[in-house]
Amino acid sequence: MELSTIIAAGGNGSGDLVVGLLVGCCLGILVGPAFRSWQIYREWVEASREVRLADRLLETMEIDAERNGHADPARSDDVSAGSTWQPLP
C-alpha cells in the first residue's frame, strides 16, 4: 500500500481517513510513553513484592532451623539484624 493510495482515499471523502490517521498517530505518541511508564511501575511493584516474600521465607527458614537445632555452623554471626544475606568475606 503506497502513500499515494492513502492520500487518494482521503481525498474522496472529505479527508476523514487522513484526519483519523493523524489523530491516531498523535494519540499514540502522547499515550505511548505514559503507558510504558505505567507498565514499568507495575513491574517494579511486583518485583518488590516478590523480594519481600523471598526475604520473609528465608527469615522463617532460619528461625525454624535455629529452633530445631539445625543452625548452619559455617554461617557467620556478622549478619546485621533483619538481614537474611551473609556479608561478603
Burial per residue of 12-33, b for 16 or more beta-carbon CB atoms within 10 angstroms, e otherwise? eeeeebeeeeeeeeeeeeeeee
Residue 9 corresponds to which cell in the numbers above?
482515499
pTM for this one? 0.45
Q: pLDDT tens digit string along 13-27?
A: 666 777 888 888 988
Is 39 a residue whose pLDDT tops 80?
Answer: yes
Under the banding of pLDDT at 50, 70 and 90, the label for residue 43 is very high
Is 82 a residue whose pLDDT tops 80?
Answer: no
